[in-house]
Amino acid sequence: MKKRKFKPRLCACRCGQLTREGFFIEGHDAMLYTAILNNVGGLVALRDLVEDKLGRQIKMEAGKKPPENADNRTLAKNH
């Protein structure tokens, strides 16, 4: 990973803490994701809400496999 200049900013989850880099403190993106799902009533309800707002359907990319990246591991860890 490339070294970047230390650029703290308020965590996007609104916890009031400062990040070292990026928009979230580690794990807080997953916490926000879980909080959104809990408030909306699940992933399907969230999709419906977003589709309503966008005025169009969210299409999955055909033939694309689910990603096996760090974000998924972070999310799984917090469930």
Binding to Zn ion in span 24-43, by CB under 5 A: 25, 28
Residue 53 CB, shortest distance to Zn ion, in Å, is: 24
Among 10, 15, 35, 49, binds Zn ion (CB under 5 A): 15
d(CA 71, CA 49): 23
- Asked if residue 29 lies in contact with residue 39, where contact means CB atoms within 8 angstroms, the answer is no
Per rule CB under 5 A, count of chain residues that contact Zn ion? 5
Within 8 A by CB and 6+ apart from 51, the residues are 57, 58
User: Which chain residues interact with Zn ion by CB under 5 A?
Assistant: 11, 13, 15, 25, 28
